[in-house]
Amino acid sequence: MNTNLPIPEPFTRPDYLRVFGKFLQNSLVRDMTFRANFVIDCVSSLTWTLMNIGFYLIIFSHTNQIAGWGKFEFFIFLGTGMIVNSLVQAFFMPNCEEFSELIRTGGLDFALLKPIDTQFLISLQKVEWSALSNGIVALVLIAFGLSQLMFRSENPLRLDGFTLLLYPLYVLCGVAILYSLMIALSASSIWLGRNQSLYDFWFYITNFSRYPMEIYDGTFGLPLRWFFTFIIPVLVVVNVPAQTLAQPVSSLSNMRQPLAIFTVLAAVACLLLSRWIFQASLFRYRSASS
């Protein structure tokens, strides 16, 4: 009996960065296979974005400020929201939309058998490159707003390296919060089978993040502002990074205040909570063949 048989190598953890690179590559190949559809998606997204910008240009033709945000400051706010939403729509939305379909068809069975983290696979296996077109327009809009604020004659805006580091950090925090809410609602498909109404709930909730938190004032506004800041923290998704860039003096002075710290803590807490909900839902999952 041959006792010198090779010993199989132990299971090694996958290189997640390399796997994500393959996801990006495969998604780009898929989109380029149907170039006409890709171009139509980009044009549709850009058209909606330009219409949205035009809407606020009309508003600012009748007023100088919206809840303390001047025209060019609000352009930075609007561009920041577009960046956050384009990242969520590009990397997470198409995957979370198909989660309930994976459960119904049994595709989740195959995802669970793969030697990779299931949440990573479910969340990132498809990328919508066309959604990133809005991010390009957003960068142009932010650059234009900053140029107008930095070279205005009165009280010009001054930016430093610390502010420029804070801005992408808070943008990532906003993306993390929206992703956490989306994946938690998607995971409920395991209990409900089909959760389209809860998925629509994500859109209703995130609509609050499209506006400055200062507009939520008064008898009805303040409770909404408190709830959507500290319970479901969607108001900090755009407001905090936009204020950091458009109003850096006040933002830096607020760094020691609860809201600035809460934004980072909320992002971490939302990721951990959504991870727990996702794992708990997998424990309740029963194979489609069972």
- Taking only the tens place, the pLDDT of each residue in 100-149 is 778 777 788 888 888 889 899 999 999 999 888 888 899 999 999 999 98
Per-residue model confidence (pLDDT) at position 168: 93
What pLDDT band is residue 38 in, cutting at 50, 70 and 90?
confident
What pLDDT band is residue 265 in, cutting at 50, 70 and 90?
very high
| Residues listed for the chain | 290
Per-residue model confidence (pLDDT) at position 247: 74
Q: CA angle, corner 13, sides to 12 and 18, nearest 5?
A: 120
Task: With both helix axes pointing from N to C terminus, report the angle between 133-150 and 71-91 in degrees, rounded to the nearest 10.
Answer: 160
CA distances from 219 to 192, 212, 216, 225, 226 (A): 36, 17, 9, 11, 12
What pLDDT band is residue 236 in, cutting at 50, 70 and 90?
very high
What pLDDT band is residue 172 in, cutting at 50, 70 and 90?
very high
Query: Which residue did the predictor score with more confidence, 196 or 275?
Result: 275
The pLDDT tens digits for 137-157 are 999 999 999 999 888 767 788
**Residue 68 backbone class (left: φ over 0; alpha: ψ -120 to 50; beta: rest):** left
Contacts of residues 261-265 at CB distance under 8 Å and 24 or more positions apart, as own/partner, are 262/229, 262/230, 262/233, 262/236, 263/170, 263/173, 263/233, 263/236, 264/169, 264/173
* % of residues, the chain, pLDDT over 70: 88
Q: Are 141 and 75 in contact (CB under 8 A)?
A: yes
pLDDT at residue 50 greater than cutoff 70: yes
What pLDDT band is residue 288 in, cutting at 50, 70 and 90?
low
Per-residue model confidence (pLDDT) at position 274: 94
Helix (H, G, I), strand (E, B) or coil at 70: strand
What pLDDT band is residue 175 in, cutting at 50, 70 and 90?
very high
Q: What percent of the residues of the chain are helix, what percent strand, and what percent coil, each to the nearest 5? A: 75, 0, 20
The Cα–Cα gap between 223 and 168 comes to 29
The Cα–Cα gap between 185 and 195 comes to 8
Per-residue model confidence (pLDDT) at position 7: 43
The pLDDT tens digits for 66-86 are 888 888 999 999 999 999 999
What pLDDT band is residue 251 in, cutting at 50, 70 and 90?
very low
What pLDDT band is residue 281 in, cutting at 50, 70 and 90?
confident
